[in-house]
């Protein structure tokens, strides 16, 4: 089943528009300047909730990435391109990176040299990061934040489309990263309720919880 779904997405359900869209979606270098602008704007203009969200998000990402780096070699699951020939799509390398959005993506099939050039397949780093973001935004911003799950779902599809992961990799990573994010945020919530009354009583009086906002 895993291989069947992979080959349908990676080889048969393809077109030129999806090649560009999926390659662009997975290329963090393209979106990095925009993400930095969003984070800085949120820190300056977003108030306590935005700052708390970003703080929890960054800590959750750091810890989740450490778990991912530890699990990859421990599980040591091969990527699709390491065991068979797959269709691969990527953006051309240009500077500045966002100009790649206006270039034709590079489509090729994996070869022998690709079998030893990647880290293991599970968990997926892309899916870990985007799932953590989706969990944090949902907890802090409710239904509006939950819209990011659309991006996470598209990212999951793109990782299979681009030949980077098996479908079970992305599905398993969603559950793993969701649990990691919830545990980290629950821990930070406990720390806030323990430390803030002593060190920041005025702030704690206005914001007795990092996540729960009565006015939301």
Residues 36-58 have pLDDT tens digits of 999 999 999 989 999 999 999 99
Please tell me the total count of domains within the chain.
1
Low-confidence ranges of the chain (pLDDT < 50): 214-216
143/152 Cα distance (integer angstroms):
15
pLDDT at 6: 95
pLDDT at 86: 93
Q: Residue 80: which domain range? A: 2-204
- Flag whether 212 is in a domain: no
- Flag whether 83 is in a domain: yes
- Flag whether 213 is in a domain: no
pLDDT at 29: 87
**Closest C-alpha to 96, from 34, 37, 42:** 34
- Flag whether 209 is in a domain: no
**Closest C-alpha to 211, from 146, 143, 140:** 140
Whether 81 and 115 have beta carbons less than 8 Å apart is answered as yes
> Quick one: which H or E segment has residue 159?
helix 148-161
pLDDT at 189: 94
Tokens of 74: 């421990």
Computed from CA positions of residues 190, 192, 198, 199, in that sequence, does the dihedral angle turn out positive or negative?
Answer: positive
- Flag whether 131 is in a domain: yes
- Flag whether 214 is in a domain: no
- Flag whether 210 is in a domain: no
**Closest C-alpha to 78, from 156, 183, 166:** 166
- Flag whether 215 is in a domain: no
């Amino acid at each position: 089943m895993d291989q069947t779904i992979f080959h349908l997405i990676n080889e048969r359900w393809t077109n030129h528009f999806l090649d560009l869209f999926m390659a662009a979606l997975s290329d963090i270098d393209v979106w990095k300047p925009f993400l930095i602008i969003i984070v800085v704007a949120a820190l300056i203009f977003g108030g306590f909730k935005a700052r708390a969200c970003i703080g929890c998000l960054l800590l959750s990402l750091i810890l989740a990435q450490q778990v991912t780096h530890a699990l990859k070699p421990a599980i040591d699951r091969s990527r699709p391109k390491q065991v068979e020939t797959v269709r691969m799509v990527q953006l051309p390398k240009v500077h500045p990176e966002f100009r790649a959005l206006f270039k034709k993506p590079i489509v090729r099939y994996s070869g022998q040299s690709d079998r030893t050039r990647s880290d293991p397949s599970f968990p997926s780093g892309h899916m870990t990061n985007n799932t953590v973001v989706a969990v944090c935004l949902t907890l802090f911003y409710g239904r509006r934040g939950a819209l990011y799950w659309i991006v996470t779902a598209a990212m999951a599809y793109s990782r299979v489309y681009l030949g980077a992961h098996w479908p079970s990799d992305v599905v398993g990573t969603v559950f793993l990263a969701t649990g990691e994010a919830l545990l980290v945020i629950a821990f930070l919530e406990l720390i806030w309720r323990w430390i803030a009354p002593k060190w920041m009583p005025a702030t704690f009086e206005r914001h007795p919880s990092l996540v729960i906002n009565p006015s939301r």
